[in-house]
Amino acid sequence: AQSVAQPEDQVNVAEGNPLTVKCTYSVSGNPYLFWYVQYPNRGLQFLLKYITGDNLVKGSYGFEAEFNKSQTTFHLKKPSALVSDSALYFCAVRASAGYSSASKIIFGSGTRLSIRP
């Protein structure tokens, strides 16, 4: 069964420093991986995805993620953190249910990112 794990409940980083939010995945077949961000009292916003191709995926707001097949990781990164990046981040994987069907996304438990000025 498909699953994702986010080993850190909270990540604290000083503004201007690089940040990493960790994610490990478990899938059968090709992985379709996503990162979403949730600001307080808001919905989930799509950041980026890995379907196929380059292992380094670039997304919104300067975020990027590195797909590592051998280590089954899909860590979210940003070279220089902003205070406004403080939010809840979810790693997610598409659960394979046939190409033509509406396939659900399975979310990790979330990591709260806190950027201090």
Partner 1 sequence: EPEVTQTPSHQVTQMGQEVILRCVPISNHLYFYWYRQILGQKVEFLVSFYNNEISEKSEIFDDQFSVERPDGSNFTLKIRSTKLEDSAMYFCASSDGTVNEQYFGPGTRLTVT
Q: Classify residue 61 as left (phi > 0), alpha (psi -120 to 50) or beta.
A: left
User: Looking at beta carbons only, is 13 or 91 nearer to partner 1?
Assistant: 91
- Interface mask toward partner 1 for 74-103; x: CB under 8 A: ----------------x---x--xxxxxxx
Quick check: 108 and 22 in contact, CB under 8 A?
Answer: no
Q: Classify residue 73 as left (phi > 0), alpha (psi -120 to 50) or beta.
A: beta
Amino acid at 98: G
Shortest Å, Cβ 15 to partner 1: 26
Shortest Å, Cβ 82 to partner 1: 22
Q: Which residues bind partner 1 (CB under 8 A)?
A: 32, 34, 36, 42-46, 49, 51, 90, 94, 97-110
